[in-house]
């Protein structure tokens, strides 16, 4: 009869390749948090896999040994996420990364540490419960509200409470803020572990929904949070917010949260540009936006299609996403600018104004 140590040791190779069966993932992750010997071996195997795959600057090199909270966050955040279609993969990875971070906090840990706005760590997780809820309700995955069929996704009746306005006083923003206040009030009466469990179960429900695996269903547009987008893009919005708030929590606790893997990061960049273009409007002075960094370089012309380009902006993908996410200001975000400074500033200001986080 094999011991738990021997059983996990036999699974480490598959874990390093992200090839574990779903039932084995929890066994391995729990054991690595408790066994220093296996954790060091896991670091070695994962580093070997990264070396064979080539450099990946989106994830820092793992420590030689696990830190005081068990396996290092940089490694644990790469633990296998739920398998989904590509449009939901960034959300699955963001959920896995935040779970890894929260798993390092015990029940009496720094849950009251201020994070962002007037929220502490516990409140921020409660906000994510509220933030994921509209999509979960649409897909019938949080136990409240009707379960929508494939035919109802994208129908006019699917989201009657939303409007397409991006004004800060628009009805959807008012509802968004009210839902967050109610969730925080409710969750403060519960333990952090209970709140994390609610968030994790709701996220797992989203990732197990048909829309997370069926690209045709996910291509259908629906109105959520003030904008009509394909369901696939609403999954990207959830990934965007989950990663940004993981960054918020990590920064508050002085813990490193790596950016999304390069393919996921570029999905978020393209999603942000799809929102930014219409928000600027067709009459805005045209600006060439180039996003260049790990994984490639892409250029878009935003604004009027009838006039010559007035300015050029060059930005790193992480900085661009953090600007759209409200974590960089137009004045201080790193960028290269040539041409009409006022036209470039208009793009930066509009990008920053899109944040709902």
pLDDT in tens, 59-96: 333 333 344 444 444 444 444 566 789 999 999 999 99
Report pLDDT for 16: 66
Distance CA 351, CA 322 (A): 10
- For residue 181, name the pLDDT band (cuts at 50, 70, 90): very high
Distance CA 333, CA 320 (A): 8
Give the residue carrying structure tokens 């007037």.
118
Phi, psi of 280 (to 5 degrees): -70, -35
Tokens coding 175: 């509802």
Phi, psi of 144 (to 5 degrees): -130, 145
Closest to 38 measured CA to CA, from 62, 65, 14: 65
Distance CA 235, CA 36 (A): 36
pLDDT at 351 over 90: yes
Tokens coding 153: 């996704």
- Residues of CATH 1.20.120.450 domain(s) within the chain? 86-258
Q: From residue 311, how far is each of 274, 307, 346 by CA, in Å?
A: 19, 12, 11
Give the residue carrying structure tokens 């279609």.
85
Report pLDDT for 119: 97
Report pLDDT for 140: 84
**Domain 86-258, CATH:** 1.20.120.450
- Residues of CATH 3.30.1050.10 domain(s) within the chain? 267-353
Residue 25 per-residue DSSP state: H
**Domain 267-353, CATH:** 3.30.1050.10
* Averaged pLDDT of the chain: 80
Enumerate long-range contacts of 326-329, CB under 8 Å, 24 or more apart: 326/244, 326/352, 326/355, 326/357, 327/244, 327/247, 327/248, 327/357, 328/352
Distance CA 61, CA 76 (A): 12
Q: From residue 63, how far is each of 67, 69, 100, 183, 251 by CA, in Å?
A: 8, 13, 16, 37, 19
Distance CA 277, CA 355 (A): 14
Q: Kindly report, residue by residue over 304-332, the tens digit of the pLDDT.
A: 999 999 999 999 999 999 999 999 999 99
Tokens coding 143: 């136990």
Higher pLDDT, 116 or 46: 116
Write down the pTM of the prediction.
0.73
* 46 close to 251: Cβ distance less than 8 angstroms: no
């Amino acid at each position: 009869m094999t011991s738990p140590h021997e059983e996990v040791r036999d699974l480490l190779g598959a874990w390093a390749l992200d090839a574990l069966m779903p039932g084995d993932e929890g066994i391995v992750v729990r054991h690595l948090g408790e066994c220093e010997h296996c954790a060091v071996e896991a670091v070695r195997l994962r580093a070997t896999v990264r070396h064979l795959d080539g450099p990946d600057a989106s994830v820092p090199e793992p420590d030689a040994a696990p830190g005081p909270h068990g396996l290092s966050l940089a490694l644990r955040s790469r633990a296998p996420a739920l398998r989904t279609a590509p449009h939901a993969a960034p959300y699955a990875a963001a959920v896995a990364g935040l779970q890894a971070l929260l798993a390092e906090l015990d029940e009496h840990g720094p849950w009251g540490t201020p994070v962002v706005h007037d929220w502490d760590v516990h409140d921020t997780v409660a906000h994510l419960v509220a933030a994921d809820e509209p999509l979960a309700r649409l897909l019938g995955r949080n136990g409240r509200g009707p379960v929508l069929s494939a035919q109802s996704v994208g129908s006019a009746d699917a989201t009657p409470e939303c409007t397409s306005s991006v004004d800060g006083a628009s009805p959807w923003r008012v509802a968004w803020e009210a839902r967050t206040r109610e969730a925080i009030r409710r969750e403060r009466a519960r333990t952090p572990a209970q709140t994390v469990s609610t968030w994790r179960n709701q996220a797992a429900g989203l990732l197990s929904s048909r829309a997370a695996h069926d690209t045709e269903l996910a291509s259908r547009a629906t109105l959520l949070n003030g904008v009509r987008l394909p369901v696939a893009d609403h999954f990207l919005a959830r990934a965007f917010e989950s990663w940004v708030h993981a960054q918020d929590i990590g920064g508050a606790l002085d813990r490193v949260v790596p950016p999304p893997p390069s393919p996921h990061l570029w999905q978020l960049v393209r999603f942000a540009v799809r929102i930014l273009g219409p928000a600027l409007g067709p009459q805005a002075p045209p600006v060439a936006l180039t996003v260049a960094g790990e994984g490639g370089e892409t250029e878009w012309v935003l604004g009027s299609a009838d006039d010559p380009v007035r300015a050029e902006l060059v930005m790193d993908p992480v900085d661009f996403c953090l600007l759209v996410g409200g974590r960089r200001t137009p004045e201080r975000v790193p960028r290269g600018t040539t041409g009409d400074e006022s036209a470039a500033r208009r793009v930066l200001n509009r990008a920053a104004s899109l944040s709902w986080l």
